């Protein structure tokens, strides 16, 4: 009867497990389908970088509910490393 709430809670739990260094995929908005690296976080938002348009100094703020972790993590967080990692990911590599 309350399966809608269960799904919402499951989504919220996944979003909460995202931490700094994780690679995420945007699920909504103009960036839908793009990959980013989490460079900072708080309870409600994650701050994302692609190393190009959204650099570490000017990150993309996005609601946690609107991103999904892909199970990969960047060890060293710099614009260059993020660009390289995401470029390799888009070419079919895993970093």
- Among positive and negative, which fits the CA dihedral 42, 43, 49, 54? negative
| First vs last C-alpha separation in the chain | 42
DSSP state of 38: E
User: How far apart (Å, rounded) are the C-alpha atoms in residues 50 and 12?
Assistant: 24
Q: Answer yes or no: is pLDDT of 9 > 70.
A: no
pLDDT digits (tens, 9 = 90+) for 21-35: 999 999 999 999 999
Domain assignment present for residue 95? The answer is no
Domain assignment present for residue 33? The answer is yes
Domain assignment present for residue 31? The answer is yes
Domain assignment present for residue 56? The answer is yes
Domain assignment present for residue 44? The answer is yes
pTM of the model: 0.81
CATH number for 56: 2.30.30.30
User: Element (H or E) spanning 41, and its range?
Assistant: strand 35-41
| Range of the structural domain that residue 46 is part of | 3-90
Beta bridge partners of 4: none
Total domains present in the chain: 1
């Amino acid at each position: 009867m309350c399966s809608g709430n269960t799904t919402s809670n499951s989504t919220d739990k996944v979003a909460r497990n995202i931490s700094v260094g994780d690679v995420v995929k945007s699920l909504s908005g103009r960036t839908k389908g793009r990959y980013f690296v989490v460079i900072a976080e708080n309870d409600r938002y994650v701050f994302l970088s692609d190393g190009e348009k959204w650099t570490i100094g000017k990150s993309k703020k996005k609601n946690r509910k609107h991103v999904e972790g892909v199970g990969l993590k960047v060890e060293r967080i710099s614009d260059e490393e993020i660009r390289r990692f995401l470029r390799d990911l888009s070419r079919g590599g895993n970093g």
